[in-house]
Copies of this chain bind each other. A is one copy, B any other.
Amino acid sequence: MGAVKTKRMPRAVREQQMLDAAVRIFGQRGYMAASMDEIAEVAGVSKPLVYLYLNSKEDLFTACIRREAAALTEAVQSGVRPGLDADRQLWDGLRAFFTHTAQHPDAWSVLHLQARTHGERFAAEVTAMREEIVAFVTRLIGAAAREARPQDPDRPEPGSSTPDRLGLDRPAVDPDLPEREVAGLAEALVGAAESLAAWANSTEGVSARQAAATLMNFAWAGLGNLMEGRPWSPTDPDHQGRAG
């Protein structure tokens, strides 16, 4: 990413160099403080060429968000091999996610922080990526739930409802976890991953693998119990519990 100047470099290559430089500067300086001068300098091109190709600071930033969102989504999806056990798929997906965010901290700063902090137009770009990842995780958890109890004769009828151990009148836990519960779990997992990635990147000495292991430990045993019909329940919801 030095100031390499080659004449007749194809436009597509030049554009990628500009985006490389822009992600780095936006990620490190923040959207407001980033200057087009510095981006052009880091990209090794003239500032007018940046404007010619990418039009404006806003459009350049949008192009950065789109490219990095696509790269992250691709990294996670291609890190997961279909056909493995659900927990293994989740572990692979988490490692791919944390490896990518650790290796591209400027890109993660653009997606997680900068894009959400500077106006609804940019935030909407990230929301689209997030929805794609949530949908992916939702399918993964749904498949895991079906895998957990494929042949349970006591499986309740879909849509049946019983008060559960938390005293909620909600659909009984069945091998196909209620759709809404699966959606909520996927939201929780994605939110946890986002939060942990930001923390890992700003905490000295936390590796991608450690961050993935922390979340896997946190998530899987909980999900695993839930899928097998063992939700957590308070010791004594109406009184003060064991230590009261």
Contact = CB atoms under 8 A, between A and B. Distances in A.
A219 B195 CA distance: 15
Given A180-B206, A188-B214, 18 more contacts: A83-B244, A87-B235, A88-B241, A113-B123, A118-B119, A166-B213, A166-B216, A184-B196, A184-B200, A187-B195, A188-B192, A188-B218, A188-B219, A191-B191, A191-B192, A191-B194, A218-B223, A221-B221
A217 B222 contact: yes
Identify the 10 closest CB pairs spanning chains A and B, nearest first: A191-B195, A222-B222, A221-B225, A188-B192, A192-B192, A220-B232, A184-B214, A187-B199, A221-B222, A191-B191
Interface of A: 30, 32, 81, 83-85, 87-88, 91, 113, 116-120, 123, 166, 168, 170, 180-181, 183-185, 187-196, 198-200, 203, 206, 209-211, 213-226, 230-232, 234-235, 240-244
A216 B231 CA distance: 9
A168 B213 contact: yes
16 contacts: A85-B241, A88-B235, A91-B232, A168-B213, A184-B214, A188-B193, A190-B195, A191-B191, A191-B192, A191-B193, A216-B232, A217-B231, A220-B222, A221-B225, A221-B232, A222-B225
Q: Taking chain A's interface residues, is the majority helix, strand, or loop, or is none over half, making it mixed?
A: helix
Nearest to A173: B217
Contacts of A81: 240
A226 B219 contact: no
A119 B198 CA distance: 18
Contacts of A191: 191-196
Nearest to A205: B180
Contacts of A222: 217-223, 225
Contacts of A196: 184, 187-188, 191
A87 B213 contact: no
B91 A234 contact: yes
A81 B235 CA distance: 15
Nearest to A189: B192
Contacts of A210: 168, 170, 184
Nearest to A195: B191
B218 A203 contact: no
A214 B210 CA distance: 25
Given A181-B214, A184-B214, A85 B235 contact: yes
